[in-house]
Amino acid sequence: MDTHIYLDYNATTPLRPEIRAAMIDSFDLYGNASSMHASGRAARVRVEDSRRALAELIGAKPGEIIFTSGGSESNNTVFKTMGSLMTRGERNEIITTAIEHPCVLNSAENLRSLGYTVSFLPVDGDGKLDMGALKKALSKKTLLVSVMMANNEIGTVQDIPAIASLAKAAGSLVHTDAVQAVGKIPVDVNALGVDYLTMSCHKIYGPKGIGALYVRKGSPLFPLIHGGHQEDGFRAGTYNNQGILGFGAAARLAGESLAEYALEMGRLRTRLRDGLLAAVPRIKVNGHPRDVLPNTLNVSFPGAEGEAILLSLDLAGIEVSTGSACASGSLEPSHVLLAIGAGPELAHGSIRFSLGWGITHEAIDYVIKTLPPIIARLRAMSTLT
Ligand SMILES: Cc1ncc(COP(=O)(O)O)c(C=O)c1O
């Protein structure tokens, strides 16, 4: 039997059967959810069901959820909104972190290129935001503080309530990219105290190309995509019935299994971490020791190249990633690992194992057995060269 062990759930996830079934059903739901006739209304009812499911998952009101094409679009919508606000108001500075996903980093860079002040704050060795730097950076000019809730590469979870309360005290708006957090750990927009929160469906066993943005009632927003009146004019385009229904099913399922997810992923992660620490000398586990996603384990293997490890594991039927999927292929060391002070050798030799439903303890044991000879061979080659 061919081995196939997928350990790249932070890049994307397979459809869970219940979500696939909901989507297959939805293919008959062809009505345009904005149409007034029966077919349109039938689609609309299901779209609104999904919106409610998503709102419930994050403690929001359904009217505060806007469907988008994914996390990238949601993040861009927030940053483009800030760009428009900054041309009009007193506040013209943005604060974010050095470890954000490229869709936030590049949205922030775009604002910087237009002449606005953007601070990319440092994080500590575990990937936690430097709160002293945040306090120093905040001022009467700060329009937005945007800090991701959980990091896609190392899994570190930020203290968003503390960050939001500092930002609010300075009169700033607050955004969090919660793409990697929603469905994996509890997320409640009121406990977090944020104005905007980004979500994506394909990280929680649903389809790709569908996401959402939570916008607290009263917080400013301008559409990124202009057109019809869908989503109260905030996001034009005919409703993506299939994607939205898949997102609703994914949200319901994630909400129901949150506790079980934490338990099961925690078990798998501990087994993998402890197994690797025992089997491979001189390795370093990256990320916060406690405030970390239950499914994410990032490990540096000094003396071995991340890409070479990835390809060797792939040949053995094990799929992992180095850095983020968006950065892979660039051969640049991960900006996240550099930001936690890993240095080029540790940053180049890091592997992200991201776990999910369906992974067995036997699969984890196979990884623990397969990896040591690969690392030994690559280290021997690197000493030779
Ligand atoms: C933290 C984070 N934000 C945003 C995104 C982008 O989401 P999407 O693929 O839905 O555009 C990702 C996906 O990798 C992510 O991990």
Tokens 């996390």 found at? 71
Are 246 and 26 contacting, i.e. CB atoms less than 8 angstroms apart? yes
The pLDDT value given to residue 295 = 98
Tokens 């700033």 found at? 172
From 103, 106, 321, 324, mutation site for ligand 1 pocket: most ligand atoms within 8 A of C-beta? 103
Q: Return the residue whose CA atom lies nearest to atom 4 of ligand 1.
A: 71
The pLDDT value given to residue 120 = 98
From 79, 100, 101, 293, mutation site for ligand 1 pocket: most ligand atoms within 8 A of C-beta? 101
Phi, psi of 27 (to 5 degrees): -65, -20
User: Could you give the CA distance from residue 196 to residue 199 in angstroms, rounded to a whole number?
Assistant: 10
DSSP secondary structure letter of residue 333: P
Give 11 Cα–ligand 1 centroid separation in angstroms. 8
Output the pTM of the full model: 0.97
Are 177 and 324 contacting, i.e. CB atoms less than 8 angstroms apart? no
Please give the C-alpha separations between residue 104 and each of 67, 272, 322, in angstroms, as whole numbers: 18, 31, 20
Give one DSSP letter per residue of 226-247, joined into a string. -SSSGGGGTS-S---HHHHHHH
pLDDT in tens, the chain (385 residues): 589 999 999 999 999 999 999 999 889 999 999 999 999 999 999 999 999 999 999 999 999 999 999 999 999 999 999 999 988 888 999 999 999 999 999 999 999 999 999 999 999 999 999 999 999 999 999 999 999 999 999 999 999 999 999 999 999 999 999 999 999 999 999 999 999 999 999 999 999 999 999 999 999 999 999 999 999 999 999 999 999 999 999 999 999 999 999 999 999 999 999 999 999 999 999 999 999 999 999 999 999 999 999 999 999 999 999 964 444 455 678 999 999 999 888 989 999 999 999 999 999 999 999 999 999 999 999 876 6
The residue annotated as part of the active site, out of 85, 262, 326, 338, is 326
Alpha helices in 35-149 (DSSP H): 38-58, 71-88, 102-113, 131-137
Give 75 Cα–ligand 1 centroid separation in angstroms. 9
User: Could you give the CA distance from residue 206 to residue 240 in angstroms, rounded to a whole number?
Assistant: 13
DSSP secondary structure letter of residue 214: E
Token digits of residue 134: 């945040």
Beta strands in 122-228 (DSSP E): 142-146, 173-177, 196-200, 211-215
| Active-site residue flag, 326 | yes
Fold of the domain built from segment(s) 5-14+258-384:
Aspartate Aminotransferase, domain 1 (3.90.1150)
Are 268 and 250 contacting, i.e. CB atoms less than 8 angstroms apart? no
Decide the pairing of beta strands 93-97 and 284-286.
unpaired
The pLDDT value given to residue 95 = 98
Give 376 Cα–ligand 1 centroid separation in angstroms. 34
Q: Return the residue whose CA atom lies nearest to atom 14 of ligand 1.
A: 11
Tokens 């309530």 found at? 161
The pLDDT value given to residue 245 = 96
- Return the CATH number of 17-256, one of 3.40.640.10, 3.50.30.10, 3.20.20.370, 3.40.50.1360: 3.40.640.10
The pLDDT value given to residue 324 = 44
> Which residues lie with the beta carbon below 6 Å from any ligand 1 atom?
70-72, 101, 103, 148, 152, 177, 179-180, 200, 211
Query: Could you state, in order of their start, the residue ranges of all structural domains in the chain?
Result: 5-14+258-384, 17-256
User: Could you give the CA distance from residue 239 to residue 226 in angstroms, rounded to a whole number?
Assistant: 14
Give 253 Cα–ligand 1 centroid separation in angstroms. 20
